[in-house]
Amino acid sequence: MAHDLYRRTPPGQHPPNRFDGYKSTASRSPTRPAVVLPQTLSEITGPLRRDERLGAQENDLTRQRMGEPLGERIVVHGRVVDEAGRPVPNALVEIWQCNAAGRYHHPGDQHDAPLDPNFYGGGRARADDNGAYRFVTIKPGAYPWGNHKNAWRPAHIHFSLFGPAFATRLITQMYFPNDPLLAYDPIYNSVPERARHRLQAAFDMDGTQPEWALAYEFDIVLRGRNATPMENGHG
């Protein structure tokens, strides 16, 4: 019997591929069921990107240009863990976001809001041995996106994680607590209701830096390993 190294994900954790409120999913979602593949070496290995050398300022998005970007400076930190709460050490965390005015430093973004020459909006951090990562950035603005009448994305930061294997790859978005736009956002609401709160960072008063920056905490939970037969044997 094949034994999968990583736990199969039960329903109710992720959005469906097609979500009617999010228009682009209509033509970009497979309709046939995915073929269930036993986890082979191809799925339980994956890019660890340990050779990726990060620049000193890559996790501080406020210091990548000549001057300081406009907006509310924030610290975003948390831990990358698996389903059992075990850290995913040395994980590479990649983020990207729009500026405080709601505009991406991207040629495709035509939103009529100012670009900030001091804000590029991309960053990377390496989690430590306990899975802890930390970014300094500015709070992203809301922006309109044309999905429906008066559609605005709630403020969010895009996150990309590899975890230990091809099977654990995840791209997600972090939202801010108490944002009134969350209730209207089909991308956020595509996630089953019970799981949505996991996309919201927690305001972190203890982590705020006096006279300098508010802090938000965002833990990321990746797929974890099945118990091995030996672990079962030991209860």
Nearest to 87, CA basis, from 45, 129, 126: 129
The answer to whether residue 42 forms part of the interface with another protein (CB under 8 A) is yes
Question: Do 94 and 159 touch, CB atoms closer than 8 A?
Answer: yes
Residue 111 falls in the annotated catalytic set = no
Residue found under tokens 């070496």: 41
63, 73, 134, 196: residue in contact with another protein (rule CB under 8 A)? 196
> Between residue 100 and residue 159, which ones bind another protein under the rule CB under 8 A?
104-106, 108-109, 120-124, 158
Q: Which tokens is 54 given?
A: 């990060």
Cβ contacts of 44 within 8 Å, gap of 6 or more: 5, 6, 165, 166, 167
Q: Which of 104, 101, 97, 102 is nearest to 173 (CA)?
A: 97
How many Cα atoms within 13 Å fall on the side-chain side of residue 187?
18
Q: Is 176 in the site for another protein (CB under 8 A)?
A: no
* 153 is an active site residue: yes
Q: Residue from 21, 25, 60, 89 that binds another protein (CB under 8 A)?
A: 25
Active-site hit among 134, 158, 169, 196: 158
Task: Output 27 or 178, the one with its CB closest to another protein.
Answer: 27
Nearest distance, CB of residue 40 and another protein, angstroms: 6
Judged by CB under 8 A, the stretch of 45-53, 65-73, 176-184, 207-215 that binds another protein is 45-53
Q: Which backbone phi and psi does 213 adopt, to 5 degrees?
A: -160, 140
| Residue from 20, 26, 67, 177 binding another protein (CB under 8 A) | 26
Which is catalytic among the residues 153, 175, 216, 223?
A: 153
Q: How far apart are CA 227 and CA 215, in angstroms?
A: 35
**Under rule CB under 8 A, residue 203 binds another protein:** no
- Residue 175 catalytic? no
Give the binding range for another protein (CB under 8 A) out of 2-10, 65-73, 207-215, 226-234. Answer: 2-10
Q: By the 8 A CB rule, do 115 and 61 touch?
A: no
Q: Is 216 in the site for another protein (CB under 8 A)?
A: no
Structure tokens at 40: 């082979």
